Structure 1
């Protein structure tokens, strides 16, 4: 792919835009960020907070531990720590640097502050409005469609900032629709690695570090440790355990950052850690690892673009297929291996639902990575799923479109029922 082409430049921009650090599950962090910006607009510590959130935000915050809150879960904790100690300029690392004395004040602040949570009446899957009060003064911040996409800031009914809410969140964002598996492969094989090395190096360093932490200490259901204890030390198992261990830690309050993919830390770990583990096993060069990670990241972003950031469709499925693509290339350097691995993997795990962020995400990640590896092993052994087998169609792009349709349209009612069950309706 020509370095001067629009497609090449779009891929570089997409990777730099998407592969960014986040500390904590991105949905509670989005609430904390919104709250920190609301306090900034108010200019003082609020004595009352209201959070109106869409169903998918409520679903993804309900059961996950918010970092730097001494093990607290939920929207109230996320909003309170954002208001009390959040860095309003740090985006998804808003509560990454909470001081010990600030953390100590959290319990007392929550006890003495009115905090209300409401369901946002919104057509947007990702929608958060945080309103704060101090006496008669009030401020409000509204985030829509992406975790840090602020569309309105106001104080005492005076608008400080406002922009139009559009389906394409940022009119200046790169062209995601240009992505195809064929072009992604071409880009990954020909990319000047100096253009993206720092971004990928950060993903390798951050995600490896939190995986190490998950395997070293006790977090959640310890899926990573359980895999290694139960199934041994084969690379297939290590690849699953590495990704699961990162999720064990992240879903259960670990205060270390990860580099995300498609707005999700779990997906960021799933696309990267299994590929890194296979590269170690194979003795791959650093350049080969970079190209495999370019492939796994972009394949996942392409799959997720048609589904959306949040849905009833578990994002680990897309990321597991992306990881499978990277592993397939490391093992074969063959385009056909990559496309067949993607189709096979999606056919295996396309029914996993998202019931929010919590400890069991690590087990779902393990299953998704296993499907990615199985998808490749099927190809290596001369086996594949064919067009007409369930949702599989002839051609990798056609299968991806079917899976996107399933996640975006077909599972809308499923998503509503999951949310109702989770909030006890």
Structure 2
């Protein structure tokens, strides 16, 4: 292990990345991005529109179609998210912009029934793209979000451009190419814990609360509850807590989560299994925070190569991150951690993302299960080796392959999934 000093560029970058990525969001982040854009467009127009035109990329359609928009009385879909943003959105709160929308459920439902809204599927070379145009009388406003959930690249009103910028996702974010496994490992062992504690403590508090909500009440397919009814071993409990958080989040729970890589499900998967293991083994709170930092940074590193949205299920990368965090908790060294990641990815890298919905919880459970199998494999002297499918010698080369698979290899898969969903409507 090398000691990483504060003066090291990566030391400060990794702190910044954690703070940029681990932010609160309410509900599935794609419908919330739509609500955020609608609130911005309404504010620009200065009044409630009489007509709304919505242009979205296919992956937005995929990730909004089947998920409940929180605080709307269990409404689903693009138009519901737009209506919530128009009626109750507070754009200053970004991904928590409809946190108080439940007070206006009737107004949202009424607007959804009466406001003319048109939806257009666009493909302009961006996986993540939202363009919202609000009209009233002879006036209009336009908001363009691209490449990331709150990355507004254009604001326009009555043919006057009020704001514009480059669309590149990372334009205002810390360079993710600075991430690599050896440096992440050095960082989590040497970082002054007070510098990352606040953001991780918030993740612990928020994500634990929604997991317990999911285990206590009825949400979606109740995957967390089903798992808890099967067995009481530690692996099952870790899977159940992560799944229960998703059960609640995908099915209308009003509690926020702390996300990872733009995804609440990935934030839940990175954190909850690590928390379950930390409690069971009574590890120190400081070691827990270091393990959480590892889990989150590993997931971000993996997801950077894949991109914001893909047909590659993000639970897979987050599950591998959780496996790394748990391996660290249990005194695993660098080799144990990296082999846990590789073994996990070798098992479940074929899992597709077919949108946000109740079954995400089951995919999370499968990903956590694969991570723990990968950990146990290496503990017992077993591993998948270079040449086994997409696995190659060296953790970074394997992660490059995973990124290529998710970013390039699954493009057509993503297109077919979107086509199926559009044909169904």
The answer to whether TM tops 0.5 is: yes
1:362-373 equivalent positions in 2, closer than 5 A: 362-373=361-372
User: Would you say how many aligned residue pairs link Structure 1 and Structure 2?
Assistant: 421
What is aligned with 1:138? 140
Q: Out of 45, 49, 57, which is 2:48 matched to? A: 45
1:268-417 equivalent positions in 2, closer than 5 A: 268-417=267-416
Give the deviation of 1:164 after TM superposition: 2.2
Answer whether contact 1:120 1:128 (CA < 8 A) is retained: no
Answer whether contact 2:315 2:363 (CA < 8 A) is retained: yes
Counterparts of 2:63 and 2:379 in 1: how far apart (Å)?
Answer: 37
1:135-284 equivalent positions in 2, closer than 5 A: 135-166=137-168, 169-230=169-230, 232-284=231-283
- Aligned to 2:330, what secondary structure does the other structure show? helix
1:42-121 equivalent positions in 2, closer than 5 A: 42-100=45-103, 102-121=104-123
What is aligned with 1:419? 418
Counterparts of 2:412 and 2:223 in 1: how far apart (Å)?
Answer: 30
Give the deviation of 1:99 after TM superposition: 4.9
Divergent runs of 4+, >4 A: none
Q: Out of 127, 143, 150, which is 1:125 matched to? A: 127
Unaligned runs of 5+ in 1: none
Give the deviation of 1:165 after TM superposition: 2.2
What is aligned with 1:28? 31
What is aligned with 1:14? 17
- Aligned to 1:69, what secondary structure does the other structure show? coil
Give the deviation of 1:173 after TM superposition: 1.9
Greater shift in the superposed pair: 173-182 or 250-259:
173-182
After superposition, give the CA deviation of every residue in 1:358-394 in whole Å (9 maximum; x if it has no partner): 0000000000000111110101111100100111101
Greater shift in the superposed pair: 201-210 or 115-124:
115-124
After superposition, give the CA deviation of every residue in 1:86-138 in whole Å (9 maximum; x if it has no partner): 001111001012252x2221121111110111102311000000111112211
Unaligned runs of 5+ in 2: none
**TM-score, normalized by length of structure 2?**
0.98
Answer whether contact 2:73 2:102 (CA < 8 A) is retained: no
Answer whether contact 2:266 2:315 (CA < 8 A) is retained: yes
Give the deviation of 1:208 after TM superposition: 0.2
Counterparts of 1:23 and 1:165 in 2: how far apart (Å)?
Answer: 24
Counterparts of 1:138 and 1:171 in 2: how far apart (Å)?
Answer: 28
Counterparts of 1:358 and 1:307 in 2: how far apart (Å)?
Answer: 21
Counterparts of 2:258 and 2:10 in 1: how far apart (Å)?
Answer: 23
Counterparts of 1:172 and 1:90 in 2: how far apart (Å)?
Answer: 18
- Aligned to 1:423, what secondary structure does the other structure show? helix
Answer whether contact 1:347 1:392 (CA < 8 A) is retained: yes
- Aligned to 1:52, what secondary structure does the other structure show? strand
**TM-score, normalized by length of structure 1?**
0.98
Answer whether contact 2:222 2:247 (CA < 8 A) is retained: yes
Give the deviation of 1:69 after TM superposition: 0.9
Give the deviation of 1:196 after TM superposition: 0.8
Give the deviation of 1:405 after TM superposition: 0.6
Counterparts of 1:406 and 1:304 in 2: how far apart (Å)?
Answer: 11
Counterparts of 2:29 and 2:109 in 1: how far apart (Å)?
Answer: 22
